A and B are shown apart, each in its own frame.
With several copies, the nearest count.
Chain A
Amino acid sequence: MTQTAKPSVRHPRLKRNKLGLTQRDYEGSQSTLCAGCGHDSITAAITQAFFELDMPLHRVAKLSGIGCSSKTPTYFLSEAHGFNSVHGRMPSIATGANAANRDLSYIGVSGDGDSLSIGLGQFCHAIRRNVNMLYMLENNGVYGLTKGQFSASADVGSRAKRGEENRMSPIDPASLALTLGASFVARSFSGDKKQLVPIIKAALTHRGFALVDVISPCVTFNDHEGSTKSYAHTREHGHEVVETDFVPILHEIQAQQDHGSTTAVTMHDGSVVRFRSVDEGYDPTDRDAAYAHLKELQAKGEVATGLLFIEPTSMDLHAFENTVDQPLVDVPFEKLCPGSEVLAELQSRWR
């Protein structure tokens, strides 16, 4: 079904992916966000990643909460089903959806208000359950849609547009996720598509909960001097600790040929994520070391970016629950209903 139409100029020479689709096919309706909003850049990166992964459009389910960030599922993959839910509760909806149909690709989009204030409990518990989804946290340090209040990710000392200073310690989604045992933790910057796209691809391929925390400046309420989530501040203080390269399953893998600092992690579907540590010795498979490094950089006022941690073999929700491989929505009723004979048998015990 079409949303508000976007001027649809088709470039005949646009690149096509394996499904014969162009990147345009992965777009959605026209964004209604402020011009320059970081969220729009993330939308573009998502679009590109899905395109490059040759993902069938209708096999994707996109979910969100409420906020400017949560509006963005309208702006990509218009031929995927979407669910713009209520504030802070997207994780539970995604969990239930995934429980019912494990075969779709899930992408949840949320904001720092949506995930770290009202939705903090659900966010943490979705991590614990390792729900198989890409969780995109579009982090701008403020509540954009309600006009610029500090969110829980606002840094100590960051100043609001009207001047007040935040003094409470921020909730940092990446270190929180590491603490909670998340199986995939990445951070990036909306302004760095080169870093973001392979991270999104890896996250979509990961089996389990993949947190992608993206600093995504709010041009209207949090892009001024004194803000630590502005374009300028993020450009200056972002610090890539590891470079990521995503190699799809069918590509030839030139794994061990690289420099010594490269590691490769094979995903459950056979695709490979290659890492090149920027910070000497950084090991994205060592949770506690990753945490320590993050905190060290944070103490210096720097924001660690990259695919910070991955544990590709962790159990996901379905492994915990030992559900059948077939999506539950596809199991025929005959296999679900035990029938009249069983009912009689059962009841013979209830006397």
Chain B
Amino acid sequence: MDRDSRDRTDDFVVTNDFVVKVATVNGTGSASANGMLMQAIFRMGIPVSGKNVFPSNIQGLPTWYEIRVNKHGHLARNPDVDLMVAMNPKTYEQDIAEVRPGGAVIYDSSWPLDEELFRKDVLFFGIPLSHMCVENFKGDRERILMKNIAYVGAVAALLSIDLEVIKGMLEEKFSAKQHLMDSNNVAIRLGYDYATEHFDCLLPIRLEAMDANRDSVLMTGNMAAALGCVYAGATVGAWYPITPATSLMDAFRSFCAELRKDPETGKNLYCVIQAEDELAAIGMVLGAGWMGARAFTPTSGPGISLMNEMLGLAYYAEIPAVIFDVQRTGPSTGMPTRTQQGDLFTIAFASHGDTKHILMFPADPGECFYFAVKAFDLAERFQTPVFVASDLDIGMNDWVCKKLEWDDAYVPDRGKVLSAEDLQGMDAFYRYLDVDGDGIPARSLPGVDPKGAYLTRGSGHDRFGRYTEDGDLYQDVMDRIARKIEGAAEALPPPEVRLVDGATVGLVTMGGCRGAVLEAIELLADEGITLDFLRVTGFPFCTAVEEFLLSHDVNIVVEQNRDAQLMRLLLLETAVPKSKLSSVLDYRGAPLSAEVVVGGVRDRLGLVPVEAG
């Protein structure tokens, strides 16, 4: 990104617009220290984001945390590091190399830094963190933990984070554990005081309290999606642990433990089953969905692959199910702790034979909540699996989001479910009969009434639900199902569209790319390039999506996979001609940055970058 995109005060100090990156070792407690740092900035009312870059490992390998502060609210990942908190000697070399000229490095000066690592164009702040912790704390474990807290103190001092904010956080966190609160306070002060005492040369970046977060909270997408499941009235969850989806079910369980106990008996108003694998997890969801429960499973790519057969069954036997695909870098095991949007084709057409599934693409944790609720409504209304496709970045990172709201008038859309009275009032019930002409037949639930009984099956059946090997009767049902799924297009959340006067080029994206793309649009606007914005939120695509694409000369689709999966879906499933489509791809596993989008758009439009002024 061009340096000049940052607002600088006269004395070349940038306020509330910079990137801090912390390099540590995983399994040492640094994750919670970094979270505190981000939370403190959040509490100062400043727009902030934190991206955890962690290895597929439990302990001892390099890990990073990237905090971006941006007063304008641009919170996509920005790889341009202003301050590196280099706590892992094993990665010193690459960490120090990453700092932008004029930036700074904090390191642990308990041991001297290798001469070769110093850079002239970067400030170095050595703090003897390990020494201080050895002096002040007892036991290896505590010393390691407190070193993290100590660097938080130092960063707080250098960036002018309000110490009271941090103290408040510690009080909340350790209210029950005085001992821990004490050590944490000591550690914070160690770092803070050392920095204030030793460094009079100030950093070129600084924080200043704002009031941008009044209506916001910090949450991860998995947490929000789990809460959506609670609010939607989901009662059965089945899953097999997999990064980055595991925390969704962890969150569901802990929300339920708090909010879903029967007040009288203390028993659970939900049932969460750790399945033996993903084939079983989706099987359990289908079993529960068949019974009439709202049921879901969170998983990631490998799990989706394993669910393939059952997804075809659900499509063809028309059983509601909600699947959260928290995407990670594929194919195969790939990079389990890196983000991607690589499963679109797989989920859109999962399973052999002719299928097409309903997909939703939340852009942030807030949408994870709302889309989760909607997913259950759609799954029951259309009697089919609905996929909520988020990704590791949305699912596992803390995002600053608008507070969630809930309308107490909400009534679940159960779709066409027949009650015992309905059934009794009917001449005969036929499971797959399109009575209303919308492709959606009515369903009956087991146990309700003998008149509703039928045999659900994945084998050939006719509109009456009877087994068939007759081609015409088979086709009749398949055609109706196709119609039914098309009908979902307009029932999905509407796409996000932002139009500018005179723009002839559309920038199209989905999910977590939103922030980077919007930021890129602003940056390009500064260069005089105006772009319209379309964020696709669901599949099958609604007419608004098609109209947008048709009404622009070029649509550049920005997404995080190698094969332009969204662009190709748009090509397949709208009337847009090939000539109007182009794409910008980044599939390296990190959350998307505006820089990549800007570069890509310039390239697609045949423009050269403007000179940094």
Interface: B448 (CB within 8 A)? yes
Name A54-102 residues within 8 Å CB distance of B: 57-59, 61, 63, 66, 68, 73-74, 78-89, 91-101
Interface: B302 (CB within 8 A)? yes
| A145 to B27 Cα, complex, angstroms | 12
Q: Given the interface contacts A66-B333, A83-B456, A338-B230, does A347 sit within 8 Å of B236 by beta carbon?
A: no
Does B455 lie within 8 Å of A73, measured CB to CB?
yes
Does A96 lie within 8 Å of B333, measured CB to CB?
no
Interface: A146 (CB within 8 A)? yes
Interface: B479 (CB within 8 A)? no
Q: Kindly identify which residue among A89, A143, A317, A343 contacts B280, using a CB–CB cutoff of 8 Å.
A: A89
Does A147 lie within 8 Å of B310, measured CB to CB?
no
Q: Given the interface contacts A78-B453, A86-B458, does A92 sit within 8 Å of B287 by beta carbon?
A: yes
Name B202-251 residues within 8 Å CB distance of A: 213, 217-219, 227, 230-236, 238, 240-243, 246
Stretch at the interface among A118-126, A197-205, A208-216, A234-242: A118-126
Does B240 lie within 8 Å of A324, measured CB to CB?
no
Does B411 lie within 8 Å of A333, measured CB to CB?
yes
Q: Provide the residues of chain A in CB contact with B430, threshold 8 Å.
A: 1
Interface: A339 (CB within 8 A)? yes
Q: Given the interface contacts A100-B291, A104-B446, does A321 sit within 8 Å of B271 by beta carbon?
A: yes
Does B271 lie within 8 Å of A101, measured CB to CB?
no
Stretch at the interface among A31-39, A248-256, A269-277: A31-39
- Of all chain A residues, the one with the shortest Cβ separation from B242 is A146
- Most chain B CB within 10 A, of A74, A144, A331, is at A331
Q: Provide the residues of chain B in CB contact with A342, threshold 8 Å.
A: 259
Interface: B267 (CB within 8 A)? yes
Does B464 lie within 8 Å of A81, measured CB to CB?
no
Does A340 lie within 8 Å of B407, measured CB to CB?
yes
Interface: A14 (CB within 8 A)? no
Q: Given the interface contacts A324-B262, A339-B408, A340-B405, does A100 sit within 8 Å of B288 by beta carbon?
A: yes
Interface: B269 (CB within 8 A)? yes
- Most chain B CB within 10 A, of A4, A92, A96, A129, is at A96
| A328 to B256 Cα, complex, angstroms | 14
Does B231 lie within 8 Å of A323, measured CB to CB?
no
| A118 to B309 Cα, complex, angstroms | 13
Stretch at the interface among B16-24, B58-66, B177-185, B601-609: B58-66
Interface: B295 (CB within 8 A)? yes
Interface: A335 (CB within 8 A)? yes
Does A328 lie within 8 Å of B464, measured CB to CB?
no
- Of all chain B residues, the one with the shortest Cβ separation from A152 is B276
Does A98 lie within 8 Å of B287, measured CB to CB?
yes
Main SS of the interface on chain A? mixed
Q: Kindly identify which residue among B240, B293, B405 contacts A343, using a CB–CB cutoff of 8 Å.
A: B405
Q: Kindly identify which residue among B242, B273, B455 contacts A321, using a CB–CB cutoff of 8 Å.
A: B273
Interface: A325 (CB within 8 A)? yes
Q: Kindly supply a per-residue 1/0 record for chain A positions 101-134, scoring 1 wherever the CB is within 8 Å of any chain B CB and 0 otherwise.
A: 1011000000000000110111001000100000
- Of all chain B residues, the one with the shortest Cβ separation from A84 is B457
Interface: B395 (CB within 8 A)? no
Q: Quote the shortest CB–CB distance from A331 to chain B (angstroms).
A: 6
Does A97 lie within 8 Å of B287, measured CB to CB?
yes
| A33 to B332 Cα, complex, angstroms | 22
Interface: A318 (CB within 8 A)? yes
- Of all chain B residues, the one with the shortest Cβ separation from A80 is B453
Q: Provide the residues of chain B in CB contact with A97, threshold 8 Å.
A: 287-288, 290-291, 446
Q: Given the interface contacts A34-B59, A58-B449, A83-B456, does A121 sit within 8 Å of B280 by beta carbon?
A: yes
| A340 to B405 Cα, complex, angstroms | 7
| A35 to B408 Cα, complex, angstroms | 51
Name B390-418 residues within 8 Å CB distance of A: 403-408, 410-412
Q: Kindly supply a per-residue 1/0 record for chain A positions 323-351, scoring 1 wherever the CB is within 8 Å of any chain B CB and 0 otherwise.
A: 11100110101011111101110110011
Q: Which residues of A are interface residues toward B (Cβ below 8 A)? A: 1, 3-4, 32-35, 57-59, 61, 63, 66, 68, 73-74, 78-89, 91-101, 103-104, 117-118, 120-122, 125, 129, 143-147, 149-150, 152, 220, 317-318, 321-325, 328-329, 331, 333, 335-340, 342-344, 346-347, 350-351
- 9 A-B pairs with least C-beta separation: A92-B283, A96-B287, A96-B284, A100-B293, A81-B446, A97-B287, A118-B277, A93-B287, A100-B291
Identify 19 new A-B residue pairs, CB closer than 8 A, beyond the known A336-B260, A337-B410: A32-B57, A85-B457, A86-B458, A87-B302, A89-B280, A95-B238, A95-B284, A96-B238, A99-B293, A100-B236, A101-B291, A125-B280, A129-B273, A146-B241, A146-B243, A147-B246, A323-B267, A331-B235, A338-B230
16 of the cross-chain contacts (CB-CB < 8 Å) are A74-B455, A78-B453, A80-B446, A81-B452, A82-B456, A93-B286, A96-B289, A99-B271, A104-B446, A146-B242, A152-B276, A220-B58, A337-B230, A338-B231, A343-B404, A347-B404
